Amino acid sequence: MTATVVTNAAREAAPPPRLSVLIPFYKESPATLLRALTPTPGVEIVLLDDGSGQAELTQEVMSTIDEVALPATFLSLTHNEGRARGRNRLTQAARGDYFLCLDSDMLPDAPDFLTRWLEVMDDNPAVVFGGFSLLQAPMDKRFAIHRMMAAKSDCLNAATRALMSEKYVFTSNLLIRRDVFATQDFDSSFTGWGWEDVEWAMRVAQQFGVQHIDNPATHLGLDTADTLMRKYEQSVGNFARVVDKHPQVVATYASYRAARLIRKLPLRGALRATLRGVIRNEALPLKARAFGLRLYRAALYSEVV
């Protein structure tokens, strides 16, 4: 698929960068993130609109890259290619020795965010995950379940993440050396939502290792309970691919073990329906609803384990 490519004036005048910040997006503006990235020598931005088909969004992004001082390249696709293919395409347009994958709904927690990544690169690591937080995330009640689950399971310090290094790797704040990615890119057979980054990390960890540091960015894009349920439903096929490709690794995950237990139960469809009611019942304690959501995910995955 051919991409429309636009560059800003800073990109035309800049020397080759050390670091390329890769930002894919789909129907959500990356403008807030772009304005939050401190202009830093040796850094460029590469953006990909993965087929949003929204003229106003395109114009907003083009106006924003003209405002910011960082060199920027903007690729726009007419049709959606998906998360894995989109990120592979971003690396092809990047010029840096390292790639920093950032989701468009992230926001750096410190003004020296990019400078710290450049310092990490001085040691020539293969892959490093910086972590993420909820420091600047919205406090809306409708996002309370996601906030609780993310705080417990995802917003972990580097020492904790390093205990299962490949599990806690997400393309929300991920540094990758160019030659490593040339050896192991994202598997484009993954479609929809979820698991393509973790599966990539499983492959890379075996060959190059994965490091963890504390240089977090906030995940602004919290979801409602209904949106999380839909995403989990979309992720079943991808989870099945991971189980098929890395059975021994996935067998250590709590979600896999729970899915195997649920697989033995009768009336799994009725269980999922009951759990949906629990998750949506705002009269119940938040912890009970969050537990129901984790169990709902395992019940979905039970069909493919």
Residues 164/205, Cβ–Cβ less than 8 Å = no
Which CATH number do you get for residue 94? Answer: 3.90.550.10
Do 230 and 163 lie in one domain? The reply is no
Do 160 and 302 lie in one domain? The reply is no
By percentage, how much of the chain surpasses pLDDT 70? 100
Look at 194 and 123; give whichever has higher pLDDT. 123
Please tell me whether residues 275 and 292 are part of one structural domain: yes
pTM (2 decimals)? 0.91
271 and 301 in a single domain? The answer is: yes
How many independent structural domains does the chain possess?
2
User: 173 and 142: one domain?
Assistant: yes
- Whole-number pLDDT of residue 1: 60
DSSP state of 14: P
pLDDT digits (tens, 9 = 90+) for 69-97: 899 999 999 888 888 888 999 999 999 99
Which one, of 228, 63, 234, 78, lies nearest residue 153 by Cα? Answer: 228
Is the predicted pLDDT of residue 28 greater than 70, yes or no? yes
The residue from 163, 198, 223 where one domain ends is: 223
Residue type, 81: E
Distance from the Cα of residue 162 to its chain's centroid? 18
DSSP state of 143: G
Residues 154 and 266 in one domain: no
Q: Which residue range(s) make up the domain with 285?
A: 224-305
Is the pLDDT score of 192 beyond 80?
A: no
Does residue 189 or residue 223 have the better pLDDT? 223
* Residue 190: band (very low, low, confident or very high) from pLDDT cuts 50, 70, 90: confident
Residue 243 has pLDDT above 70, yes or no: yes
Residue type at 132 in one-letter notation? F
Q: 217 with 230, same domain? A: no
- Round to whole Å and give the CA distance between 268 and 31: 43
Kindly state whether residues 182 and 299 are assigned to the same domain. Answer: no
Residue 273, both tokens: 């329906």
130 and 218 share one domain: yes
Select from 165, 196, 223 the last residue of a domain: 223
Last residue within a domain, chosen from 206, 223, 240 = 223
Answer whether 96's CB lies under 8 Å from 19's CB: yes
What span, in angstroms and rounded, lies between the C-alpha atoms of 59 and 1?
A: 21
Percent of the chain with pLDDT over 90: 78
Spacing of C-alpha 143 from chain mean position: 18
Q: Are residues 237 and 276 in the same domain?
A: yes
Residue 204's pLDDT is: 92
Q: What is the pLDDT of residues 244-299, one digit of tens each?
A: 999 999 999 888 999 999 999 988 999 999 999 999 999 999 999 999 999 999 99
Q: Are residues 68 and 209 in the same domain?
A: yes
Helices (H), 195-267: 196-207, 225-234, 236-245, 247-250, 254-263
